[in-house]
A and B are shown apart, each in its own frame.
Chain A
Amino acid sequence: MIALLIRDLRLAIRAGGGFGLGLAFFLIVVTLVPFAVGPQSDLLARIAAGILWLGALLSCLLSLDRILALDWEDGSLDLLATAPLPMEAIVSIKALAHWLTTGLPLVLAAPVFGLLLSLPEAGYKPLIISLLLGTPALSVIGTFGAALTVGLKRGGLLLSLLVLPLYVPILIFGAEMARRGVDGLDYTTPLLMLAGITCGTIALLPFASAAVLKVNLR
């Protein structure tokens, strides 16, 4: 299992698309927002938490189709399926590798992007905690979507259509938590809800992803 994780991380680094692209996309989204809504810092401060969450969600979405498609094309998935790893472990590792290459860098970079959008000081802690809690679920759900569309020629758009509605609860609780933090309100409830959803997703969804992938390999 560790071998698979190391291989995926190594591939992400060597291919160059892994860490860099998602972050660059995040930066572009953050840069474009002031052009779209105006440069007033009080306005930006109000929407900063939401924009950062939306940007994180979109840049996560950008790399979802690569989670399984590359292994599908070169036949590695067939070979992995006959290897002594259970399919549930394979999809979990894939999701973890995706989170390490896109989710985690986004969490780490979020404070810098928060500065660009004049995020109020009280907002940093809840924003980072919410991203840290929420982005793993984004990767796991994304892996489910990738498993659903892996055999399709032009699955990219369909993947977004399938995955984005599933992202709704996480976006709501994550952004709500960050927003409450900015306003200086108590954010325990969204924190607990977000943590609960993420734990449930990580625990249960790999079974669905594995089932779907087995069907697609037939």
Chain B
Amino acid sequence: MGLNVSDLTIARGGIKVLEGISFALEPGCAIVLRGPNGIGKTTLLRTVAGLQPPVSGRVEAAPESLVYAGHSDGIKATLSVAENLEFWAQVFGNSDIYVAIEAFQLDRLTTRPAGGLSAGQKRRLGLARLLVTGRPVWVLDEPTVSLDAEAVAMFAEAVRRHLRGGGSALIATHIDLGLPEAEVLEVGPYRAKPAEADDFDEAFL
């Protein structure tokens, strides 16, 4: 089983932003979320990842199957590239980091402190973390920020390999990833309708 989202309503700062979202993410499939800035894509991904509770609706996934990557990569500047990856591998109970290092061509950087990397290299390190977790469902928020065209292709290749291996991915992005097989989900139509002004209830609105 992949990921099943049914009739989900989510809120940011106590205000509903998206409502009635349903989709199913099967193993081997990818869904790309699209929509204008501020519509609530990040909130949706954080809700799916379990970082915040939904207002209503359900997110169903096998336990311990999701891995989330947000705007920041969680990289420690004073640790080397290999140490950063090793740490996350150990947290997720794995040990092999070389597949990840190769997939994102970090092999010449392994001993460098992560603080000295460029923005694009840091992002590649952040994405390499996904591989060392060994989890099947990737939940990614703007994964290609600060990546050049070559690195975007690298990322698309990594996703494709992940899908071939039975994994799945939920990706919010603005650019074309070069993943034609991915399904596109426009979140715009799910924008929450403002509550009635005279409906003065528990939520103050």
Q: Do A and B interact directly, with beta carbons closer than 8 Å?
A: yes
Assess the B70–A4 pair: CB atoms within 8 A: no
Main DSSP-derived SS at the A contact region: helix
In the complex, how many residues of chain B place their beta carbon closer than 8 angstroms to a beta carbon of chain A?
30
Assess the A74–B92 pair: CB atoms within 8 A: no
Assess the B76–A11 pair: CB atoms within 8 A: yes
> Which of chain A's residues have a CB closer than 8 A to the CB of B88?
79, 83
Assess the B91–A3 pair: CB atoms within 8 A: yes
For residue A217, which residue of chain B has the nearest CB? B51
Q: Does B53 interact with chain A (Cβ within 8 Å)?
A: yes
Q: Does B56 interact with chain A (Cβ within 8 Å)?
A: no
Assess the B52–A218 pair: CB atoms within 8 A: yes
Assess the B68–A84 pair: CB atoms within 8 A: no
> Which of chain B's residues have a CB closer than 8 A to the CB of A161?
none
Q: Tell me the complex Cα distance, A81–B64, Å.
A: 12
Assess the A82–B68 pair: CB atoms within 8 A: yes
Assess the A79–B68 pair: CB atoms within 8 A: yes
8 Å CB contact of A78 from B51, B66, B90: B51
Q: Please report which residues of chain A, range 51-83, place their CB below 8 angstroms from some CB of chain B when the two chains form the complex.
A: 71, 73-83
Interface string of B82-95 (1 = CB under 8 A from A): 01001110111100
Q: Please report which residues of chain A, range 107-136, place their CB below 8 angstroms from some CB of chain B when the two chains form the complex.
A: none
Q: Does A15 interact with chain B (Cβ within 8 Å)?
A: yes
Tell me how far the C-beta of B141 lies from the nearest C-beta in chain A, rounded to whole angstroms.
Answer: 10
Q: Tell me the complex Cα distance, A11–B133, Å.
A: 21
The residue among B76, B78, B88 with the most chain A CB atoms within 10 A of its own CB is: B76
Interface string of B58-76 (1 = CB under 8 A from A): 0000001011111111111
Q: Tell me the complex Cα distance, A217–B67, Å.
A: 16
> Which of chain B's residues have a CB closer than 8 A to the CB of A204?
none
Q: Does B170 interact with chain A (Cβ within 8 Å)?
A: no
Tell me how far the C-beta of A23 lies from the nearest C-beta in chain B, rounded to whole angstroms.
Answer: 20
Assess the A7–B76 pair: CB atoms within 8 A: yes
User: Taking A217-B51, A218-B51 as contacts, is the C-beta distance between A78 and B87 under 8 angstroms?
Assistant: no
Tell me how far the C-beta of A84 lies from the nearest C-beta in chain B, rounded to whole angstroms.
Answer: 6
> Which of chain B's residues have a CB closer than 8 A to the CB of A11?
76, 78-79
B-to-A contact residues, CB < 8 Å = 46, 49-53, 64, 66-76, 78-79, 83, 86-88, 90-93, 129, 133
Interface CB pairs A-B, < 8 A, 12: A3-B87, A10-B79, A11-B78, A14-B78, A74-B75, A74-B76, A78-B68, A78-B70, A78-B72, A82-B67, A82-B68, A83-B88
Further 20 A-B residue pairs, CB within 8 A, beyond A10-B79, A79-B68, A83-B133: A3-B86, A3-B90, A10-B83, A11-B78, A14-B78, A74-B72, A75-B72, A76-B76, A78-B68, A79-B69, A80-B74, A80-B91, A82-B51, A82-B68, A83-B88, A83-B91, A83-B92, A84-B91, A84-B92, A85-B91
Please provide the 5 A-B residue pairs with the shortest distance between their CB atoms, ordered closest to farther: A75-B72, A3-B90, A76-B74, A14-B78, A218-B52
